[in-house]
Structure 1
Amino acid sequence: MEASSPPDTWTTAHDLSLVYIALAYGTDKDLADAELDVIVERLSRWNPPEAALEEGGQDVQEVIMEAAAIYLEEDADHEIAGSVETLGQTLAEEDRRHALEDALRIAEADGVLLSSEQNLLSALAEAWHLRTTGRQLIEESSVEVEAVDTAWSFLHDLGLVYVILAHSTDSALSDAELSAVLGRLQDWHEEVTEDDAREVLREVLTFYGEQPSEEALEASVRSIKEALPPAQRLVALDDLMTIADIEGDRSGNKREMIEGLADAWGVPVRMRAAPQDGEA
C-alpha cells in the first residue's frame, strides 16, 4: 500500500495537529481523551469555526483526522520532522511561543508531564529557537513532573554515539570535545545537573573503554531512534555536527558517520562540509 502524503489543503493547523499527535501519542503510545480534548481546544485557535465555512475549508476534527492518517503511515517520521521545520520557518516568534505553550498544555492534560514529553518539548523549543521559553514552561508546569531515570538510558546511548564520533578521526578525545559532549548531554533535560551529566559521561567512557561489540553500538543507535521522536533526532544530529566542528573536521569518517545515523534514524538531514578558516 502506498504511503499517504499531505493533501493539497494542508495548512498550519495540520502541521500543528501532526506535532501535537506525536507529542500526545508518540511519547507513551496512548492518546487519552483529555489529551484529545485539549488538542481540539488548542487547534481551534489556529483553525476557527468560520474557516470551515470557506471554500475548501475544514473543521478541527477533519484537520485532526487528516493529520492522524499521516501519523499512522510508516514514513511519518519524515512528515513530523517536516512539520516541525515548516512551523519554525513560517510562524512568527509570538505564534511559535503560543504553539509551544499549546504543546505543553496537551502534555499536561493527563496530569503528569512525562520525561519523554519534557524531552520533546525541549526539542521543539530548540528547533523553534525558544530554548528559554521551553525551560520556563517546564519549570512552571502545574502538574506532576516525572523525574529523570538515572539508570542506563537514552542519555547514555546519546553520550556513547557522541564519544564515538569525537574519537573516530584521530583516536583521541580532546578536552574541548569532552566539554562539548558534557554540555550537550546536560541540555537534553532540564532536570539533568552538571554532576548528573558528568556521571553519565563517566559511565559511557568506561563502557567505551571496554571495547563494546559492534552489535552493542548498533543497539544504542536503535534505542535512540525508539526513544526519541523525529524532532529530537534532528537535535541529536545537530549536536553531532557541533561536536564534529570542534576540531574543524566534518569530513571523512565523521561525515560518513553522521549521514549514516541520519539514515538509520529516518530523518532527512544532509550535511555540508564545515566551513574552513577564511571561508564565508
Structure 2
Amino acid sequence: MTHKVSDLIRLAMRKFTHLDRFQHEVRLIISAVIGRSESWVFANHEYEVPEEQAQVIVSFIERRASHEPLAKILGRKNFWKFAFNTTQATLDPRPDSEILVEAVLSSFLDEKQPFRILELGVGTGCLIMSILLDRPNAIGIGVDLSAEALAVAGENLRHFELKERLLLVQADWLEAIGGSFDCIISNPPYIPSLEINELAPDVKDFDPLRALDGGADGLDYYRRFFKDCVPSMLTTNGKVFFECGIGQKEGVIEKSERSFLNFSNAYKDLQGIARVLEFCGG
C-alpha cells in the first residue's frame, strides 16, 4: 500500500493543531524520509510514497504531534550556514544563538587571522564550529561535562573535518583548562529554576535540564565564570562573549564587576533585546 504526499499532509493538518507552520514541517519530514528536497515535495503532492517510508513518516508526524521538536526527530538542525546533528543529550541550536556567531566574526574580521577560541558548554558544537568554518586559521577547544553531548559534538566535528583544529574536552566549566585564548564563548544555562516548568513542552520535555537550568536567578553559570576566570586565560586583546536571557543584561554585568573583565558591548536581536554580551580584560 502507498500513500500520496497529499494524504500525509492532510494527516499532519489534523495532528499538528499546535503548529502555525504545519505544512512546512511535514514537508521537511517527508523530504528527509524519502530523500528529496522540500521544494520537490511541495511540487509533487500526487507522488505515492512507498509503504515502508510512509510508516516512518506517520510515526514522525505522531512524535511531532506530541511536541517533540522536529530537530530531535530528524536528528539535524540548521544553524548559521550549516546543519548539525542533535539529540536528546544536547540543546537544539537556536536562531538567537547566531547573534553570538555574528558578534565573534565581527571582532575577527580578517578571515586569515589566526586566533584561539574556547567554548564552555559546547553541546552540539554549533557555535564554535560555525566560527571555525568561517575562520579557517582559527583553532579551538570545546568543553562539556556531558559525555553524551560530547559524542554528538564529535559526530559534527568529524562531519566538518575539524579534527585538526578543534579539541573536545570533558570537564566541568573551567576545570582543567589551561592556556590563553583570544576568545571565550558560552551559551550557558540561564533559565531560572522555577521557570523551567513554564517553558514550552518542546523545550522543557526534550532539551536536557542541565542545559536549561541556571539556578534560582538564572545567573549561576555567569557568577561562576566571573569568579573562576583569571587574567592569564585571555590574551592581551582577548574577549568573552556570553549569550543571555531576556532581561538578564544588567544582572550579568553586575556579576562581572568584581572580576578583571569589563563590559564592552551588547548585541541585540531583531526585537531590540540584548542577547549577547561582550567583555574584555581590564
Q: Same fold (TM over 0.5)?
A: no
TM-score interval for Structure 1 and Structure 2 normalised by the shorter chain: under 0.3
* Structure with more relative contact order (C-alpha pairs < 8 Å, separation 6 or more): 1
